Each structure stands twice: as structure tokens, then as C-alpha cells.
Structure 1
């Protein structure tokens, strides 16, 4: 059997129809099984510039371009599949194609040759001496966007960019031009140019892409150098070994040879494969691939140790279902653990995770006494309606608490972040406990008043025989701690958390006690700019010690540069803190794609806005955009219902998206909160006026001291919504436009 490597689609390769893709699969399957089979017609070309190049017969009309690398030990050869083209085109391309190891950085590069005509960009097939002509080019080069920081020689001699690409990049007069060049460059070169555009130093770019100071081992022959270069992280942006037929079928039938499940950026791959001595935190903006890394890492850990008990969790059950589906898309053979504590990958929302841990942890009497102050707590399916109970308690108990604090929102946050987090069971404990991160300072009389309400809340819950989700989590965390203290072990070997910025205190207490502190214990993916729930927390308070094991992703794979600029502008002027209380910045965020500027549509009134939203959706549908990839996002459920009805009345088949999966064939209408973790090709942000965004009702419901924090969440919510759009973004409003939207950010 031949070893098989698949290259990501080159930009020159024509799209293949399904029938041809099926034939490509059959060809590659036969090649992998027996490369000597006569029906494959694997043939060299006499006029080829690279003796390794081959073409193979897919059918009468199409041929595949391959490179054959022989193993000097006589083992099976390695074939690198570069793509499939019409017969005559394939032969002409193959003659001018070359496989080389970049002498500057050691990256393997497959260069598809040039055809006559205007449609194909010229690719160098040799590596010219970078001096002489290049030195003269440097002197004659006018000032450019990069000139103040780099020379042209830096791009070729230190990064290893192709000279013609380097010259075009160096000639770029502004960032937009450079971004356009980067978007059309293949593999690592496009990624490196994006880094240059955002101001990264060349040494930093080399480190992120895994370049070394000794890229080529001269003691090896060329074929051995090529095989070694395949192991280089940046090479894996263009090439991947196919380990089995099932993986190959998924790549071929998926129709996207550069799918995220196969090709990772070197920086992403590093975080997938690295071992850490303790907890690791990966941050990054929307669309930078944090979730992708977490899913790949879960699979990597499972493959390296089939007996490992791995937990993959996130904020809620809807996002958890998406994680599970993505994991099974990546690897349909992944072992999914049905029960917490079993070998394999257990995937679930964190509230369900806490419930499972508590159900499996044994008698909870001691935990209940430590957390709630009494031993008689029972695990029933009754869950406290916290908002209702707090309202009832406030109305029925004469506590003397200020009206601005006697609200369900303030009391619930205080109960979770302070009382449950610190296992407070008496007034004496509450009077002394520290309250870091809480915006409102409480005097002793105020604490006494709050405690009266807490006692009434707990009394009501006992009468109802119910527990709230935070109470379940706090009980689970304490029960797991007691189990470990009694040397009864832990339920997990590795825990991976996505959307970690939205977890509250009892979530973190649970996670810390779910796995022993040690190697690769906790992998935390978060973006504090996307925190739309709860209050900020500090990981160290829960015994989670990052101690320098934190990194940040900055390359956005989802949105265009224009949409990213718009989304980031929403955050401007506000200060955010990460889970270690460090400053969270949007510096260096950049996109791998370009597109149109977001459109800002002011409407005369609410009816006019409904008309314009419907008109825009119909325009997209008329251009044959898949309706399921179009989304209208609203601030609240009432507006969502209104837009579903209005679109239907105007001839657009739309569906409300709540906890249900997205429906095929329908335009999706959903709240901004529901859009978290999703992406769409076209997005309309509707109702972005000063009443809805930020929500005036939400801001009125919080104490003055917490108003700034609530406004940060409103910014974050709009940022989350704006960053759902891959290609086009439209913003509509009637009345006064939201103060969070800057006019210069769109058309």
C-alpha cells in the first residue's frame, strides 16, 4: 500500500462536480490500495521540471496531478495528491509543477505550474538567488506600507516568501492592499502576510509558524528532505497524511480539501498537541478557532490514551450538542462516553455535567451540610425557579434592604458568586466573607438584610423540595472534593472547557474538583469580549493556577476583514479583563478573508425596517444564497417573533430558532444570545436602536454600581452578534441609532 498525502485545494483548480468527485475518490482509493494497478495509468512526463511529478487517470476527461516520493529503504512510496484537472490542462500544469523544500524555513511547497492566459497567477518553479536583482529591486522600490519596518530582503531571506509575491507585498501602499494580496496567497505565505499586515515582527511570525534556524538537513537526499518537511507545522497547512480510508472518504466527499477538520494553522496545531504541566488557557476573538482547537485536542488526547476519561463541556446544552456533532464530523469513530467517568470523551453542557457528577458521587449529606447548612437535601428533578422565588421572598420578608438591591438579579448573583462559592451557611460567615468582583459594597446592616432574604430563599426551596442549578453545581463540587479527600479518586483525567468566559463561580468549583491538578488537567478556551452572562471571575480563587500557561489566537477564519473591523469597533472605548484579571486586547486581530463593508440602513419607522429587512433577504435569496445560511438577529424574543411573522407576510419563509436545531430551507430568525457559537453567510442585525441596544430595560434593572459591568455585557452581546457573519453584514434601525455603532465602521 502507498502512503497518501492530500494537499489542500490550490486556487487554480476548477471546482469538481459530484460525479467527478466520486471518481476522484475511486482513483485515490485504488492508488492507496495498489499504486501499481494498470488502470490508474500513473505516468511521468518527459518535459517535466520535477522528475517526481506524475499524472493519473481519473476518467477519460480528467487526470490527477501527483508527486511520487520513493523511500530509499525500499518501503512503499509516498504519493502527494495535488488535485484533479481536465486532461490536457492537467498535463500542461504538471510539466511546470514542482515540489520543493523552502530553503529559508523548511516548509514543503507544492507549486502548480503556470498555464498560458490571464486566469492563472504565475508560480516560480525554482528558488532564485535572492541577491543581485533583488538588491536592485530594493533600491528602486518606492516607500510602501511595510517599508518602515522591513526591507524586501527580510521577506525573502528571513521569511522565505516567493520573490514575486514578496515584491507585490512590499509594493503595497496600504493595509487593505496587503490584506488583498494575503487573501490570495496559498498556505503559510498568506498567513505570514496577514501577520505582517497587523504589525507582527518577523521573529514572532517565524515562531508562530514553527520555523527553525536549520530548516534543511543537508545530510539527507532530496526525497528524505521532502518527507521530513512534511512534519513541519507550516507544511501541514497545505498537506496532511491520510491515515485510513474512512478519513479519506470524508475529505473527498466533504468537498472541501482545506476543511478545518483536516488542516490546522501551525499555531492551532501546537495548542492541540502540546503537553502542559497544569491548567492551560487559550483566548482569542470570535472566529479564531478556539473551539476547533478544543475539539481537536479532545480527539488527540483520546487517541494518545484510549483509556483516558475526557470531559468536553461548554456553557449550555445547545452549544454542547454542536461540540458533539463537530467532534463526530472530525472523527466518526471517536469513542463517546455515555457516562461520566468512563473511558472516552464525555460531551455535555456544564449544568448537565454537574447533575451527572452529583448523581454518581454517592451520599450527599456531608456536602449539603457544608454548602447549604443542613443534611437533608434530596436530589429530585425539581429545579428552583430562582427569579420567581427571589421576587416572592422580597415581597414577603421585611428585610430593610435598599430597593435598588432587593432585585432578583442582584440577589441571585450575590448568592452564586459569594454565598455558594464560599460555602457560606451562617450570618457570621457572610458578615466576614470577602466579595471580590462585586460592584456594590455592602455595609454590615446591608449584609444582615441580604442574609434574611437568603434564609427565606433556602427555606422556600426546602419546602418545595427543589434545588437551583447553581446549588446543584455547588453540591457536586463539594461532593467531588470530599471524594478526593477520602482517596476515592476523580471522575476525569482531562477536562476541556469551551466558552469559558460565561461560567460562574460554582461552575469553576465543579471543574476544579472534577480532575486532579496535574499534567493536561484543564484546557480552557475563552474570550472575555464575548462574556454575555454573569459576573467576571478570577480563576485563581478556585485553585486553578495558569502561571504563564496562557496564549492568544488572533487570526479570524470566519468573518471578513471588513466585518471584523466593524465588530471590534463595538468594543472600542471599553476595558475588559480576562479570567486572570489581565487586560484583554483586540490588538493584532486580523482576518484571512476580504469582503464588502457592512451596510448601515436607517429606516423611517418600524414598518419601514420590516420592509427593508425583507427586501434584503429576498435579494440574497434571488442570488441563490442558501436560505438556511441567512440569519436575522434581534435583541429579544418579542422582536424575533415579530420578524418571523413580518417576513412570512412578505413572502419569505422564515423560522424562529430557539433551542431547536437550525432548519434546512428556511431563513433563520433568532436572538443575539441564541446566535452564540453559530455562524451564517449573511446576517442582518435588526432593531439596533438606542432603546434595544444597549437594552434600556436591562440597564434599569441593575444597581448603579453594576451599570458599567452590565453595559460591557451589552457591548459583548452586539460584538457576538456582529461576528456571526461570514460574508455580508447589514445593520438596521429606526429612530435613534445605538450609541455602540460607529458610522465610520460601515458604508
Structure 2
């Protein structure tokens, strides 16, 4: 086990991070008994992140046909997700491609199989919740265990609590309507009454969930965090949280300690999805300097590395929007001719107007086109981003200095998120002057 803390120190981690890495291994469900160096079977049993046992052909076919992330998470991912017990809330932060969502999915599956009650897997939007639910269906074969995990987004959770209490779905428009923020506050009040929080009479069995796993934590609002805190008892394995402050696409900033979640942070520094060329590009695009963290005062991107090399991002400048769209179609046609499945190609743009233009230009090619924000949380082999031009990315910011700085940082993060959806190849185009965010 000596290589675990030494690896943390070698990549610039602190002594406390090294101790936490070692602690996570010590509390894993690996066999801690005497080790016989000649017992290959026992060695394989101790390495579930690198070996899978199939009792019959049906199980073998399932293992061979499942995505690699289902069967063989990387060792660090496996240790964090399969730790037998955490005595405190856990926060896992890491850059794009470090496997945060894989860890969240495996942790939810582990808690469903070995935990002490219902599990809630929560994320920041409905589209991401649907994607997580589909991936969880692949990961958990046992239907009984799968039913122990609910997948939702924070806004729908609040809506559901209020609807159950009032007997009808509250309107969001028209007479008597309430905002989503108001519904979240009302859901917290109702949940606190139901579980006895206001009377300081908390009983764990009165909470709706025993374990909560949070994905895309950087875009959860303070009020939503308070709701999640109230929905689970303060006990071991209560909250397991993953996120990346550099991928924040909302103006939400919160220190978890201020909302009653004293999380201990684990940091991932290795990107398994992005090639080094793309990782270096997006770090320069986003800026490796500090941003507001979820536990500590600031989080930085310096020190991230990839496990493999690949293609450099392609930057294409065109004389007109028409020629840019023609270039997009030519590029996508070439990718399809190269044998890339249409489902592994995505086209992104900053505005819905540009998305409509892209769809029209790509008529008949059956590839996905969406705004940058709607690509969040997804991944594709190849991604093309169009309209990355001055005046579009970023959108014109407000004049007030503080608001201007926040708006520009948010715009930079949105472009960063879109770029990091690519696993193998990234294509960026613009007509006229390119965005000032594009690294030279």
C-alpha cells in the first residue's frame, strides 16, 4: 500500500490528502487477512478493479458486453466508490475525465447492495438524471437492488416533496405560482416538520433516505444543499458528493460547511478520458488559476494529467457563417466516412439560433446538435463546436465590474464544459474574429 500515499505526494498532494488516500484503502472491502504470494485466485479476489469472475456463460457474456466502466473502474475510483464505510460526508473533486460520475454510480450501487436504507442519486438537471438512471440500469443487474436507488434532480425533488404534502402539483406560472427557489424553501420546511428537525427530535428512520449521492455538485444551490442535508440522517455514509468547481455553469457558489455538510475532500488529478493534447488545451482555455471551491477557499487545475496522447484540437476560421456551416457538414461527413458512429458525434453551439442553423446544415446526417449547456455531463468520441466567435462566446457581459467578472468566468466555464465532452477529437470553428477564450 506504500505506493498509494507516495503517488499523492509525487503529484503535489498534501500530507493530509496522502493520509486520506491510505485511509480509503484501509477501509475498503478488500481482504485484509494474511497474503499468500503464490495464491493467484486470492490475488484476483483482492483485485476487483482488475478481475471479474463469471460463474457461467450468461454472466461471462454480460461482463464482456458491458461498458468497461461498469466492470473495471480504475483503482482509485474503485477504492473511493467501494470503501466499506465513511464516518463523514465525502467530497470527490476532479477535472473532466477523471471519473467522478463513474465513482458516483458505483458508490450508489455499492450502497444499494450493502447500505442501510434507500439511496438517492441526485444531479443538477433532468436530462442528466435520465442519463444517470440509464447508466445505473447497466451497472446494477439485480432488479431488487436497482429499485433501492432513486435518481432525480434537485428541483424535481423539491417539487415532489411539496406535491406530496399539498396533494397537487404547485403551478410555476399563473395565479398562485411559486418560483423554484420558493418551492425549495417550502420543501425544506415541510421536510423539517416531517422529520422533527425543528424540534431537535431527529430519528434516522424518519428521514426519506438513508444515503444520498450527489453528482455535478458545483451547480447545486445553497437552498438545495440544505434540502439534501435535511433528507438524510447525520450518520456514517450519509452524503457522498462529486463535482468540479471549474465546470460550474451557474452563478452558484457555496462552501459545504456553511450548509451543515463538513465534507472531507479527495482530489482526482488523472484524466482517463481526455488525451493530453486536449487536456492541455482546455486547461489553457479555462485558466489553471483558482476558482471558488466546495470545501476549501479555492480550487486549481494545475497538476492535472492524462493517461494517453491523441489528436490536437482543430481550430478552423471561415469568412462567413455560410462557409462555416458548409465546413461543419464536410467535417461531419468525413467523420462518418471514417467509421465513427453517428451516436458518438455531437455538435454544440452557444445559442439555440446557432443550433437550429447547425441542424439545418446537417439535415439527413442524424447526429446530435445542442447548446453547450445541454452537452453537460455527456461524452462523445468527437465533438464539433461552431460559432465560437467574438461577441458570441462570450456573450456581451454587463458593465458593473464584479458582475462582469462573474459573467466572463461563467462563459469561460460553459465553453470549457463543451470542449471536454470529446474523448478523441475536438473541432472548433468561427466566422470573423474568433473568441478571445480560444488559446493561441
* TM bracket (short chain): 0.7 to 0.9
Matches within 5 A, 1:90-239: 223-224=38-39, 226-232=40-46, 235-239=47-51
Whole-angstrom distance in 2 between the partners of 1:355 and 1:741: 40
> Take 2:124 and 2:315, find their aligned partners in 1: how far apart are those partners?
32
Q: Does 1:545 align with 2:266?
A: no
2:240 is matched with which residue?
523
Q: Deviations over 1:371-411 (max 9, x none)?
A: xxxxxxx9544113xxxxxxxxxxxxxxxxxxxxxxxxxxx
| Alignment correspondent of 1:683 | 383
Q: Does 1:739 align with 2:439?
A: no
- Counterpart selection for 2:280 from 553, 565, 568: 565
TM-score normalised according to structure 1 size = 0.53
- Structure 2 Cα separation of the partners of residues 479 and 246 of structure 1: 47
Q: Return closer, same or farther for 1:253/1:721 CA change in 2, 3 Å cut-off.
A: same
User: CA separation of 1:244/1:352 partners in 2, compared to 1, >3 Å: closer, same or farther?
Assistant: farther
Paired residues of 1:503 and 1:534 also in contact (CA < 8 A): no
Match of 1:579 among 294, 298, 303: 294
Matched, 1:554 2:269: yes
| Contact residue 269 and residue 304 of structure 2 kept, 8 A | yes
- SS of the residue aligned with 2:426? strand
Measure the CA separation in 1 of the matches of 2:416 and 2:385. 11
1:676 Cα offset (Å): 0.2
Instruction: Select the structure with the greater relative contact order (CA < 8 A; seq sep ≥ 6).
Output: 2
Aligned residue for 1:328, secondary structure, equals helix
Change in 2 beyond 3 A, CA 1:271/1:245 = farther
1:353 pairs with 2:353: no
**What is the aligned partner in structure 2 of residue 713 from structure 1?**
410
How big is the shift at 1:588? 2.5
Distance in structure 2 (CA, Å) of the matches to 1:514 and 1:537? 19
Partner of 2:29: none
- Distance (Å, rounded) in 2 between the aligned partners of 1:208 and 1:539: 22
The structure 2 residue matched to 1:382, chosen from 165, 171, 191, is 171
Give, in angstroms, the shift of residue 628 of structure 1: 1.9
Give TM-score scaled by structure 2 length: 0.88
User: RMSD over aligned Cα, in angstroms?
Assistant: 3.1
**CA displacement at 1:334 relative to structure 2:** 4.2
Q: CA deviation at 1:573?
A: 6.1
Q: Distance in 2 between matches of 1:737 and 1:718?
A: 13
What secondary structure does 1:312 align onto? strand
Contact 1:492/1:515, CA 8 A, preserved across alignment: yes
Whether 2:78 is the aligned partner of 1:289: answer no
Aligned to 1:611: 326
Match for 1:484 among 186, 195, 199? 195
The 1-side partners of 2:348 and 2:188 are apart by 36
Q: Does structure 2 retain, via aligned residues, the 8 Å contact 1:561–1:590?
A: yes
Change (3 A) 1:603 1:209: farther
Kept after mapping to 2: 8 A contact 1:295/1:327: yes
User: Corresponding residue for 1:241?
Assistant: 53
Aligned-partner SS, 1:684:
strand
Q: CA 1:222–1:193 in structure 2 vs 1: closer, same or farther (change >3 Å)?
A: closer
Question: Do the aligned partners of 1:380 and 1:466 also contact (CA within 8 Å) in 2?
Answer: no
Unaligned runs of 5+ in 1: 1-104, 106-157, 160-187, 212-216, 339-343, 364-377, 385-460, 655-665
Q: Given the superposition, is the C-alpha separation of residues 209 and 624 from structure 1 closer, same or farther in structure 2, using an over 3 Å criterion?
A: farther
User: How far did 1:223 drift?
Assistant: 4.0
Provide the C-alpha distance between the structure 1 equivalents of 2:346 and 2:265, rounded to a whole number of angstroms.
34
Long gaps (5+) in structure 2: 27-31
Q: Residues 220, 505 of structure 1: CA spacing in aligned structure 2 closer, same or farther, 3 A cutoff?
A: closer
The structure with the largest alpha-carbon Rg is 1
Correspondent of 1:268 among 77, 102, 110: 77
The residue that corresponds to 2:111 in the other structure is: 301
The 10-residue stretch of structure 1 (284-293 or 703-712) with the greater mean CA deviation from structure 2: 703-712
Residue 262 of structure 1: CA displacement?
0.7
* SS class of match (1:241): coil
Q: Which residue of 2 aligns with 1:325?
A: 134
Residue 356 of structure 1, CA deviation: 1.9
CA contact (8 A) 2:265 2:295 kept: no
- 1:592 paired residue among 276, 284, 307: 307
Residues 729, 220 of structure 1: alpha-carbon distance in 2 compared, 3 angstrom cutoff:
closer
Contact 1:208 1:267 in 2 (8 A): no
* 1:327 and 1:334 in contact (8 A); partners too: no
